[in-house]
Structures are given as structure tokens and as C-alpha cells.
Amino acid sequence: GENVEQHPSTLSVQEGDSAVIKCTYSDSASNYFPWYKQELGKRPQLIIDIRSNVGEKKDQRIAVTLNKTAKHFSLHITETQPEDSAVYFCAVWIQGAQKLVFGQGTRLTINP
Amino acid sequence: EAGVTQSPTHLIKTRGQQATLRCSPISGHTSVYWYQQALGLGLQFLLWYDEGEERNRGNFPPRFSGRQFPNYSSELNVNALELEDSALYLCASSLGSQRGETQYFGPGTRLLVL
């Protein structure tokens, strides 16, 4: 299947706290999982990605974890800052369908 | 290095007209993807071109079409425009896509159909 479910749809956290966004997928052959950040009126920007042969990847305050057995992966943002406020999209490369399928997006708001 | 570019930034058309959107990929990238992002919604896959060929298309009617030129730039054409075609159209490019390559997005063309 080509389903990618993303939760929550909105998330509000206090500055300095952590934020976690989760995505689940259905195609067990999926092998590439990027996360994009889209600020208002701007293009989606890749912030981190992970491939199926890796369980976790970290880049400063951002990390992604992948559980292939359970078919879910999560974005973790620590020590959140106001500039982290944006819409975040997960995506899954569906190998059989040869396309990138996006989640519905999470609107993250960081409260000062 | 220049990123993905798109033109025009905004386009206003009336129902029934045709729209042409253009995309230039990052230098060295051979794959170009088109996505539709309706207001407040996610990205819906439209088309994928690689090495001048259409490799895949999403669940959109045939009035959405395009092509890729020898220099890897691409054009998206939307015929017989309908009001619901109003959206942000995003182009992305990658180094080709055997197993899922990183896609880099352009700034988009905002199409408004009146």
C-alpha cells in the first residue's frame, strides 16, 4: 500500500521543550524516509533523512528514528526554538510505486 | 550552486484556459518531479521525468501533462483549467532515482484559477 499517516496534525510546545512527530507506513519495501520543513510561503526544505539500513540518525537538535518491523519512524526536535515553528512533512519512498508519498503534515508551534 | 528554480512565481488564469509552468533542476540532476499542494494540504505527486522520459504519474487526469527537455529542465501543462486546480505547484529535482534519492524543491508557482 501507499498509505503514510502522520500524527499529530498540530503540535504546540514550550520553547526549550522537545517535540516528537510520528509517521507510519504500509509498504514493507519502503527504503527511504525524509523529513521536510516548510515555513509559511516557502519551499519544503529537507532537514533530515534516513535509509532502511539505519535505525537512528542525528543532526544537532534533530534526530530521526526508524522501526522497520513496526513500520514507523519519528522526528525528534530537542531544545525547541521559535524558528522551529513550521509545518513538518514526513515522506516515504515507495519502491514498488516508484514515488515519494508524503504525510499530511504537522503544524508545529513553539511558544516563547 | 544554484537551487531548483521555477517560473512564473504567480499565475492567474480563468476556467478553461491552459497553464504552462517551468522548472530548472539543480545542475547535474537528471530527475524532475512535480507536486501539487492545495491550500493547507499536503503534497500530492503529479509527475516524474528522468532522462527525458516520463517515469511515473500520480492520480491526476490526463489534462495534467508535461515534458523534460535535453537540458533536463521541465514544463508542466495543465489544460482545461478548473477552479480546483488552484494550488501551489512545486517542482523538485534529484540525481536520478533508482532507490529513492533526495529531492530538493523549488519555490513553487502559485496558480489561481478564476
B41 CA to chain A: closest CA distance, Å?
Answer: 7
Per-residue pLDDT of chain A (112 residues; tens, 9 = 90+): 678 999 999 999 999 999 999 999 998 888 899 999 999 989 999 999 999 888 999 999 999 999 999 999 999 999 999 999 999 999 999 888 889 999 999 999 999 9
B114 CA to chain A: closest CA distance, Å?
Answer: 21
Q: Letter for the amino acid at A33?
A: F
CA distance A3 to B49: 23
Residue A52 at interface with chain B, using a CB cutoff of 8 Å: no
Within 13 Å and on the Cβ side, how many CA atoms surround B29?
28
pLDDT at A96: 80
Q: Which residue in the block uniquely carries the three cell numbers 526536535?
A: A77
Over the stretch A30-44, which tens digit does the pLDDT of each residue have? 889 999 999 998 999
Mean pLDDT over B53-76 rounds to: 96
pLDDT at B98: 67
Residue A41 at interface with chain B, using a CB cutoff of 8 Å: no
pLDDT at B28: 93
pLDDT at B1: 60
Is B106 within 8 Å of A89 when comparing Cβ atoms?
A: no
Of A32, A44, A104, nearest to B100 by CB-CB distance is A32
Q: Which residue in the block uniquely carries the three cell numbers 525547541?
A: A80
pLDDT value at B4 more than 90: yes
pLDDT at B22: 98
Q: How far is CA B35 from CA A12, A15, A55, B10, B111, in A?
A: 28, 33, 29, 16, 13
Residue B55 at interface with chain A, using a CB cutoff of 8 Å: yes
Mean pLDDT over B65-87 rounds to: 97
Neighbours of A6 (CB within 10 A): 21
CA distance B93 to A100: 12
Is A46 within 8 Å of B45 when comparing Cβ atoms?
A: no
pLDDT value at B25 more than 70: yes
Over the stretch A9-23, which tens digit does the pLDDT of each residue have? 999 999 999 999 999
pLDDT value at B48 more than 70: yes
CA distance B18 to B113: 10
pLDDT value at B40 more than 70: yes
- Probe site for chain A from B103, B104, B109, B110 (most A CB atoms < 10 A): B103
Over the stretch B94-106, which tens digit does the pLDDT of each residue have? 997 666 789 999 9
Of A32, A44, A98, nearest to B55 by CB-CB distance is A98
Mean pLDDT over B49-68 rounds to: 95
Is B100 within 8 Å of A45 when comparing Cβ atoms?
A: no
